[in-house]
Amino acid sequence: MSLHPLPRAFALFGRERDGKRVVRESDHTQGILLLLAAVFVFTLMDVTAKYLGQFYAPAQVVWARFMGNLAVLVLVYRGRFLPSLRSRHPKLQFWRAMTQLASVSLFFTSLQYIGIAEATAIMDLNPVLITLGGALFLGEKIGWRRIAGIVAAMIGAMIIIRPGLGVFHPAALLPMIGAFTYAAGALLTRMVRGDSLGTSLIWSVVIGAIISTLAVPFFWQPIQAAHLWAFLLIGCFGAASQALLIRAFSVAEAGAIAPFGYTGVIWAGIWGWLFWGVLPDLWTVVGAAIIVSAGIYIWSREKKLAEDG
């Protein structure tokens, strides 16, 4: 199904000029801040997943993430939960939820074999895919300056990964595939903007909970009382990060905010040092600096374009 005819439907989130959607400066700024917050909470969820992965199979950790998420949403929405399942785009919501489940499963599995900073760096190739997908399928404008910023950010990620120097364990292919499914989910999120935030969030969680529940009996290990806090926490982190992510891609163009997803590499490096005693080396610091600089440049460029417009 082509995504291209949909941008005109996005007008309610911005204004139009000559039949084309123009995003306000405030939309870009809000989208960036929301994505930064989403990435921060996502990395906390990843830390919790890596911790649980030391004791349980990835399928059980994925199940815990979605079931905890589901419990939080049921408590928050209560009587509005079932009505919120009504969607104008049920097929798209289903496939969007499946891409999220795939991304989480691939990433959590990789954390059992490679470091959280390396896995995050590889997974963070997805902003490039999101931006290109936004241009190819959603009709979003992409100029050479934005391309240059994204290329610079990707180079920064490659500096951190350093192919051939120990990161390319076969499991490193898992977050790479996850980057593709993540990007697909981000683009599908823009396609279902006619649905409310609650509808998109609940669809993601319900589909993930159902599929992971069907799979987890084949991998089940009794949960130790000492790990109950982590099982509960991972669901809360999942709910908060997903809500922030959906909102971010609903208020701003994918290409404008996607590069800020790279900040997850920085947080992953910090958490790896704090919780596992793995200090980022010089190349990681250099790569992170390039990524942040590229993101700031793209944001400043978008701000200037919004002011000129």
Q: Which of helix, strand or coil describes residue 163?
A: coil
Phi, psi of 178 (to 5 degrees): -60, -30
**Domain coordinates in residue numbering, the chain:** 24-308
Token duo for residue 276:
């596992």
* Residue partners of 90: CB distance under 8 A and separation at least 6: none
Q: Measure the CA–CA gap between 265 and 120, rounded to whole angstroms.
A: 6
Q: Measure the CA–CA gap between 125 and 259, rounded to whole angstroms.
A: 9
Q: Using DSSP, how many helices (H) and how many strands (E) does the chain show?
A: 12, 2
- Is pLDDT larger for residue 295 or for residue 178? 178
- Residue 277, pLDDT > 70, answer yes
- Is pLDDT larger for residue 61 or for residue 1? 61
pLDDT digits (tens, 9 = 90+) for 11-46: 233 334 444 445 566 778 888 899 999 999 999 999
Q: Measure the CA–CA gap between 255 and 209, rounded to whole angstroms.
A: 30
**Helix 228-251 vs helix 58-77: angle between axes, to the nearest 10 degrees?**
70
**The residue type at 45:** M
- Residue 146, pLDDT > 70, answer yes
Q: How far is CA 74 from the centre of its chain?
A: 22
- Is pLDDT larger for residue 14 or for residue 133? 133
Query: What does R_g of the chain's alpha carbons equal in angstroms?
Result: 19
Q: Is 85 exposed, middle or buried (0-12, 13-18, 19+ CB in 10 A)?
A: middle
Phi, psi of 249 (to 5 degrees): -80, -5
Check if the beta carbon of residue 106 is closer than 8 Å to that of residue 173. no
Q: How high is the pLDDT of residue 3?
A: 28
- Segment 127-143 shows an average pLDDT of 72
